[in-house]
Amino acid sequence: MDSHTGLPVVGMVGGGQLARMTHQAAIPLGQSLRVLAQSPDDGAALVATDVVIGEHTSYDDLLAFAAGCDVLTFDHEQVPNELIRALAAEGYAVRPGADALVHAQDKAVMREALDRAGIPGPAWSEVSTVDDVASFGDEQGWPVVLKVARGGYDGRGVWFLPDAAAAADILQPDHAYIVEQRVPILRELAALVARSPFGQVSVWPIVETVQHDGICVEVIAPAPDLSEELAGQGAMLAVRLADALGVVGVMAVELFETADGLLVNELAMRPHNSGHWTIEGARTSQFEQHLRAVLDYPLGTTTMTAPWVVMANVLGGPDGGMGIDERVHHSMAQWPDVKLHLYGKSPRPGRKLGHVTTLGSDLTEVRARASAAAAYLREGGDP
């Protein structure tokens, strides 16, 4: 409890853009997010008051950080599960807890839980040898998707294998892997859900996510031309999953839309890139909702604020060209209604430096505006 404000203190482990935007959402709630960052240059460390520098893999650092917090939560899934378990055993309120978070940390555990809950996903199997991959591929058909079970992120740790031989160069004896059937997909969708310890659950409309090279570049809310039936199924699936896994906070369920319906691709148990559009596009943003959930406050309304909302990521472009300040200047002149979000990062090709959000009633125009502004803001790219 903060003695000055009379409000509980939320600590977020990880100081990236998700913590940065969570701090932004914390301010109106009377909060000041406590952040465990790796460096004073981390996006959240640049904007928050209560920053502790430390390693999320060090139990000593986590314990020292936790001491100032009423609730602990995360901006990524990289804290070892056994350390989360140990913090909870010390009496700290950790949300989501280790038993829930493991499903976003270990793809084999996640696939098993989905199977138990009867929630559809691609065929899958744990594998550790080329022979394991070969027998799965021969049964399910080639190509297959090989994934590192723990630690993958943004397309890293994922390989498309045309045959079993291709696995030979990838498989390492000290890593766990799963292999999945490569399903023919129509497009990628995401269902965003929040759940509080009290058990209240809320969902936002299902969105379409557009990826390039495994990185999300655009999110369209709501997913265009999604049948009411699939939209309802996606929402119900997210709610059932949040309940079944005991999630607290925001969970993003990445989905494949296929000719046979929806399949779960991945889970993230934190605010997620597919939900950045909610900052301006929904009455309650995913960042505010995550805070409400981990504080066990009642959840906010998730109604959209416009018929169409589009988010486009601003990625780092090739070096050179005008500086970011000049690009911001010109983009604001060109698009006075585009909402800009910069994460305080030094530019590097392909790095997510920020995002833009557009809103309106004409989807084609709203999409075009978002991608034009995002393309313009690419550091060093051509205007």
Q: In the bound complex, what is the minimum distance in angstroms from residue 46's beta carbon to a copy of itself?
A: 5
Bridge-based pairing of strands 144-148 and 158-161 is antiparallel
Select from 245, 204, 287 the least CA-distant residue to 12. 287
* Identity of the residue, 341 or 367, whose beta carbon is nearer to a copy of itself in the bound complex: 341
Q: In the bound complex, what is the minimum distance in angstroms from residue 333's beta carbon to a copy of itself?
A: 4
Compute the distance between CA of residue 290 and CA of residue 193 in angstroms, rounded to an integer. 10
* Identity of the residue, 212 or 329, whose beta carbon is nearer to a copy of itself in the bound complex: 329
Q: In the bound complex, what is the minimum distance in angstroms from residue 256's beta carbon to a copy of itself?
A: 31
Select from 102, 304, 295, 95 the least CA-distant residue to 192. 304
Q: CA distances (Å), 346 to each of 91, 313, 315, 319, 349, in order? A: 38, 15, 11, 11, 10
Select from 269, 375, 361 the least CA-distant residue to 321. 375
**Tokens of residue 119, six digits:** 């929630």
Residues at the interface with a copy of itself (CB under 8 A): 1, 4-8, 20-21, 23-24, 26-30, 32, 41, 45-49, 51, 279, 283-284, 292, 297-301, 303, 305-306, 323-325, 328-329, 332-333, 336-337, 339-347, 354
* Identity of the residue, 54 or 354, whose beta carbon is nearer to a copy of itself in the bound complex: 354
What SS3 state is found at 138?
helix
Q: In the bound complex, what is the minimum distance in angstroms from residue 170's beta carbon to a copy of itself?
A: 36
Query: How far from the centroid of its chain's Cα atoms is residue 251's Cα?
Result: 8
Q: In the bound complex, what is the minimum distance in angstroms from residue 56's beta carbon to a copy of itself?
A: 20
* Identity of the residue, 64 or 332, whose beta carbon is nearer to a copy of itself in the bound complex: 332
* Identity of the residue, 38 or 135, whose beta carbon is nearer to a copy of itself in the bound complex: 38
